[in-house]
Amino acid sequence: MSWLSKLRAQAYLMRSTGHHYPHELKTIISIIKPKNICFVHTQADVDFVQLT
3-class secondary structure for the chain? CHHHHHCCCCCCCCCCCCCCCHHHHHHHHHHHCCCCCCCCCCCCHHHHHCCC
Query: Is 41 among the domain residues?
Result: yes
CA distance 14 to 28: 12
Comparing CA positions, the residue from 16, 32, 21, 25 lying closest to residue 49 is 25
pLDDT, residue 31, reads: 92
Query: Is 28 among the domain residues?
Result: yes
Q: Which domain holds residue 49?
A: 20-52
pLDDT, residue 7, reads: 82
User: In this predicted model, what pLDDT tens digit does every residue of 1-52 receive, in sequence order?
Assistant: 577 778 887 777 666 666 777 788 888 889 988 887 777 666 766 666 666 6
pLDDT, residue 8, reads: 82
Q: Domains in the chain: how many in total?
A: 1
pLDDT, residue 35, reads: 83
